[in-house]
Amino acid sequence: LILRLYDLESGQITIDGQDISGVTQNSLRANIGVVSQDTALFHRSLRDNIKLGMPDATDAQVIAAAGKAEAHEFILSLRDNRDRQGYEAFVG
């Protein structure tokens, strides 16, 4: 509901007192992140999977995001069946 994937039939949702019905979907989606409980990885590199949420992210931003998720060290230890390692390893 908070990303306005569905419209309310009654009531309102507010963020800091502002009704989200007066905010564009693009603005909401650009400023609110969603982490699904049903996770999936695409058959791409870990770097590409992380960048799905922000395709123009720099390598530093990708590493920072992995660090915040406590995944950076784990990612560095990965190697796929074609010997790609770390953020270049394919998953999914």
Would you kindly state where each structural domain of the chain is located, as residue ranges? 1-34, 44-91
Mean predicted confidence (pLDDT) in 76-87: 98
Strand, coil or helix: 68: helix
At residue 40 the predicted structure's pLDDT band, cuts being 50, 70 and 90, is: confident
Does the model's pTM come out above 0.85? no
**72 or 31, which is more confident:** 72
- Give the pLDDT confidence of 50-78 residue by residue, as tens digits: 999 899 999 999 999 999 999 999 999 99
Q: Closest Cα to residue 19, out of 35, 34, 4?
A: 4
Query: What pLDDT, on a 0 to 100 scale, did the predictor assign at position 35?
Result: 77
Cα→Cα distances 28→5, 15, 18, 43, 58, Å: 11, 10, 12, 29, 23
